[in-house]
Amino acid sequence: MPEMPEVEALVHWLQAQLEGAVVVEIEPASFAVLKTYDPPVSSFAGLTVSGVTRHGKFIDIDVDGLHLVIHLAKAGWLRWSDHFGDSRVKMGGPLALRFRVDRGSGPHEGFDLTEAGTRKGLAVYAVRDPHEVPGIERLGPDPLAPGFELRPLLQRRMQVKRLLRDQTVVAGIGNAYSDEILHAARLSPFAIAEKLDDDEIARLEEAVTSVLAEAVAAADGKPAADLKDAKRERMRVHGRAGQTCEVCGDTVAEVVFADSSLQYCPTCQTGGTILKDRSTSKFLK
């Protein structure tokens, strides 16, 4: 799933590709992808893209005051094309939506939104105000926004891993970067947020800022096609179960849930304790 650093990079890249382009057509290729009906996507045709911004993990394309808002969900992605033919998109398959533009330099260009697998979560909203999108309206503060403070958000009886991933608490962090942040902060993913002491909070605040800022800087300027591989290469613990921790040399461990998993280093984060699945043991507090 793309998270804030990858979405930020996508936004910067799309801004360079789309600003000033005229929308030719928005073609849904899935009955489920478009979550709104007013304004219709046909009303975007002939209008000019004036900007691309980010809200948490949402991409917001401003088209002369109308907004096409995209959430890539778990398996969605964006693929750019320099030359779209005249053929119409076909319903079904991994293609979810095509966004055609005219940049005045030849054939129509733009991007396809695709989604792998059978569980469809990719969502597109055509709105007049991005805050009409429920997920944006409920977003917590952005961790890289000026004045962001994590400490007040920790006064919750929640596991810190779950708190970091809760978009209503902190916007933009998902499964991968929460693993990376907690590894950098030397905290168990199952620690309870409201029980963290001052030193633990300070480490967590520093890790949130440094991990995300470094990831944004590393991703910036990369085209969409390169972002997934670049993200995987940067991970120290996430997706690296069974491999050696670069910090201490221990073996990265994993907890598997029904539809997700987390990775951590026992030496760096849990005092050597191996965490158990919810079904077999209590979480480490």
171 by Cβ neighbours in 10 Å (0-12 / 13-18 / 19+) ranks as buried
Check whether 285 has a pLDDT greater than 60. Answer: no
Please give the model's pTM, rounded to 2 decimal places. Answer: 0.92
Query: What is the residue-wise DSSP string for 65-134?
Result: TEEEEEE-TTTEEEEEES---SPPP-SSSSEEEEEEEE-SSSS-EEEEEEE-SS----EEEEESSGGGSH
Q: In what order do the strands lie in the sheet with 95-102?
A: 22-28, 95-102, 109-115, 76-81
79 beta partners: 112
Predicted local confidence at residue 225, as pLDDT: 83
Give the mean pLDDT of the chain.
92
3-class SS at 167?
coil
Check whether 93 has a pLDDT greater than 80. Answer: no
Distance in angstroms (rounded) separating the CA atoms of residues 21 and 63? 9
Residues 56, 167 contacting (CB under 8 angstroms): yes
Residue with tokens 């199952």: 190
- pLDDT digits 0-9 by tens, 131-189: 999 999 999 999 999 999 999 999 999 999 999 999 999 999 999 999 999 999 999 99
- pLDDT digits 0-9 by tens, 235-254: 999 999 999 999 999 999 99
The mean pLDDT value for 61-71 works out to 98
Collect all residues with Cβ–Cβ distance below 8 Å to 269 and sequence separation of at least 6: 182, 183, 186, 187, 188, 189
Check whether 281 has a pLDDT greater than 80. Answer: no
CA distances from residue 240 to 95, 189, 245, 249 in whole angstroms, order as listed: 30, 16, 9, 13
Predicted local confidence at residue 259, as pLDDT: 80
